[in-house]
Amino acid sequence: MRADAIRRVVIVGGGTAGWMAAAGIARVAGELPGLEIELVESDEIGTVGVGEATIPQIALFNAMLGIDEADFVRATNATYKLGIEFRDWTRLGHSYVHPFGFYGLDMKGVQFHHHWLKGRTLGDPTPLDAYSLAVVAGLRERFAHPRPDQPNSPLSKIGYAFQFDAGLYARYLRRLAEGWGVRRTEGRVVDVTRDGETGHVSAIVLQSGARVAGDLFVDCSGFRGLLIEGVMGAGFEDWSAWLPCDRALAVPCESGGDRRPLTRSTARPAGWQWRIPLQHRIGNGYVYSSAHVSDDEAAATLLANLDGAPLAEPKPLRFKAGHRRRAWIGNVVALGLAGGFLEPLESTSIHLVQSGIARLMTLFPARGFDQLEIDRFNAETVEEYVDIRDFLVLHYKATERDDSDFWNYCRTLAPPEGLAYKLAMFRRNGRIFREHDELFTETSWLSVMVGQGVEATGYHPVADLLSDEETLRRLHHIRDVVGQTADAMPTQDEYLRRIGCD
């Protein structure tokens, strides 16, 4: 054990971020001799209580923790998710799906979508959606796990994620973390003591008067950013000019409507409404801009658009799009809502927690706290936020909607530089580039660009190596195989029953 090793990690907050951090750190570093991990949470304050839709990377986190997937699905009332259906975003009455996985099949070394773009110039109207198994199966309420043993089937690489009860997930992680030796302390943090020389946090003080000392503090205290902002004064990079939604109302309702393994996002006059179907209920919420609609009107819109009876009063939430200028200062690292917020349009917040934990473990410090490593953590964090921001802004910017002040604002805003470049490249010849291993793949950018009506004026010249007839023949064949494969998949309900869910 090196002399300057971290001996005590204190996690402030027991929401999804806090328990993910506790379980993740305990799993990776918990066996280091002498390392203690303590999580402090306040029952009185509670958690944000939302955050139910995820992206496929969550499976990696769960696998890292050694979680059995079927057990997790049963314990968290989870459903499977093949993508997000966007309704009324491009124009009223229009819809498309952003799927996990991929479209069609690359041919002649050229990405599939160039052949699809060529097919369109030949008059083939088949929408891009028809070439994604995740979309076709999702719309037909079907689900199956990927079958890598069937390399010629579109099922070989289908992507999926989960929708789950956030409270049950936190409880699930808590059981694991406590099993790995994490100590939980209930209490409200009312004060903080700092080292006079380094400025590092040395201890947090609870209402009871108890003092919890540590070497490394992980701030998972939610929007308030108790340590990272309240003590370290990180500062906030405000992106609300690009992402003006600043409030949400969340309400669960009884199950009803379709049983698709898809999260749904329906654009509304001043924002959008989510629908996240779980096994036992549906999570709903209206994310809106308070400058464009009143809280009462937003509540009325939300409640008028549920598939079942509401199970609670709508819960109001306030936020600002953006991130802490530095997520790691001294011996304080912020994860989750304490680190920043990007609206849940693409279900990215839980992923940001996960990638923050991975980054922290990669750069796990010693008590000397190397500034070079801290700077690296902060730079990577900002880059990740910027990439996701640009992808979210695409949904708002590329719209034809002109039926409200909100949509007029979004449609005419100047996009961030990175997004402007991506739009220009796609419009030229359908070129899509994934920058520095960013979270969203070419499939994601393609689906939202096409779904939101961004037109490419050309396609890759090498697609012309296939004759026109051959292009159309292959496109139709792929479309048919996708449709047949979807039909052969069980419904999600059957699938859930097979693993013991009622």
DSSP-derived secondary structure for 250-268: EEEE---S---SSEEEEEE
* Cα–Cα distance measured from residue 112 to residue 106, given in angstroms and rounded to the nearest whole number: 4
* Cα–Cα distance measured from residue 122 to residue 25, given in angstroms and rounded to the nearest whole number: 55
Q: How far is CA 228 from the centre of its chain?
A: 22
Site string for ligand FAD, 382-411 (x = CB under 6 A): ------------------------------
Q: DSSP assignment, residue 313?
A: P
Site string for ligand FAD, 348-377 (x = CB under 6 A): -xx--x------------------------
Minimum distance from CB of 238 to ligand FAD (Å)? 16
Pick the binder of ligand FAD from 23, 135, 161, 166 (CB under 6 A). 166
Helices (H), 332-416: 349-362, 371-397, 405-412
Please confirm, yes or no, whether 81 is among the known catalytic residues. yes
> Which CB, 350 or 419, lies closer to ligand FAD?
350
Minimum distance from CB of 393 to ligand FAD (Å)? 18
DSSP-derived secondary structure for 432-443: ---GGG-SS-HH
Closest of 165, 200, 204, 202 to residue 185, by C-alpha: 204
Pick the binder of ligand FAD from 9, 10, 11, 18 (CB under 6 A). 18
Q: Is 349 helix (H, G, I), strand (E, B) or coil?
A: helix
- 466 binds ligand FAD per the rule CB under 6 A: no
Pick the binder of ligand FAD from 104, 119, 336, 365 (CB under 6 A). 336
> Which CB, 57 or 156, lies closer to ligand FAD?
57
Pick the binder of ligand FAD from 9, 23, 47, 388 (CB under 6 A). 47
- 478 binds ligand FAD per the rule CB under 6 A: no
Minimum distance from CB of 207 to ligand FAD (Å)? 8
Pick the binder of ligand FAD from 10, 11, 17, 475 (CB under 6 A). 17
Q: Per CB under 6 A, which of residues 308..327 are in contact with ligand FAD? A: 317, 319
Pick the binder of ligand FAD from 101, 138, 222, 269 (CB under 6 A). 222
Cβ burial of 243 (10 Å; 0-12, 13-18, 19+) is: buried
* 427 contacts 454 by C-beta, under 8 angstroms: yes
Number of H helices, E strands in the chain: 14, 21
How many other CB atoms are found less than 10 A from the CB of residue 338? 30
Pick the binder of ligand FAD from 221, 284, 354, 355 (CB under 6 A). 221
- CA terminus-to-terminus distance, the chain: 49
> Which CB, 92 or 190, lies closer to ligand FAD?
190
- 220 binds ligand FAD per the rule CB under 6 A: yes
Q: What is the largest distance, in Å, between two alpha-carbon atoms of the chain? A: 78
- 224 binds ligand FAD per the rule CB under 6 A: yes
- 45 binds ligand FAD per the rule CB under 6 A: yes
* Cα–Cα distance measured from residue 136 to residue 156, given in angstroms and rounded to the nearest whole number: 15
Minimum distance from CB of 344 to ligand FAD (Å)? 3
Pick the binder of ligand FAD from 25, 35, 53, 136 (CB under 6 A). 53
Stretch that binds ligand FAD, among 42-50, 123-131, 192-200, 466-474 (CB under 6 A): 42-50
Pairing of strands 282-288, 315-318: unpaired
Stretch that binds ligand FAD, among 305-313, 320-328, 333-341, 490-498 (CB under 6 A): 333-341
Closest of 246, 244, 343, 252 to residue 303, by C-alpha: 252
Pick the binder of ligand FAD from 31, 32, 46, 148 (CB under 6 A). 46
Residue 11: which H helix or E strand, with range?
Answer: strand 8-12
In what order do the strands lie in the sheet containing 340-341? 236-238, 322-324, 340-341
Pick the binder of ligand FAD from 9, 11, 14, 279 (CB under 6 A). 14
Minimum distance from CB of 311 to ligand FAD (Å)? 17
- 347 binds ligand FAD per the rule CB under 6 A: yes
Q: Per CB under 6 A, which of residues 168..197 are in contact with ligand FAD? A: 188-189
* 332 contacts 219 by C-beta, under 8 angstroms: yes
Q: Is 286 helix (H, G, I), strand (E, B) or coil?
A: strand
Q: Supply φ then ψ for residue 422, to 5 degrees.
A: -65, -40
Site string for ligand FAD, 72-111 (x = CB under 6 A): ----------------------------------------
Considering the candidates 81, 118, 397, 422, report the single residue annotated as catalytic.
Answer: 81
Pick the binder of ligand FAD from 226, 234, 245, 270 (CB under 6 A). 226
Q: How many residues bind ligand FAD (CB under 6 A)?
A: 40
Q: DSSP assignment, residue 468?
A: H
Beta-carbon contacts of 133 under 8 Å, excluding residues fewer than 6 positions away, are: 101, 154, 155, 158, 482, 485, 486
Q: Per CB under 6 A, which of residues 258..317 are in contact with ligand FAD? A: 285, 317
Where do contacts with ligand FAD occur on this chain (CB under 6 A)?
12-18, 40-42, 45-48, 50-54, 166, 188-189, 220-222, 224, 226, 248, 250, 285, 317, 319, 336-338, 344, 347, 349-350, 353
| Catalytic residue annotation | 81
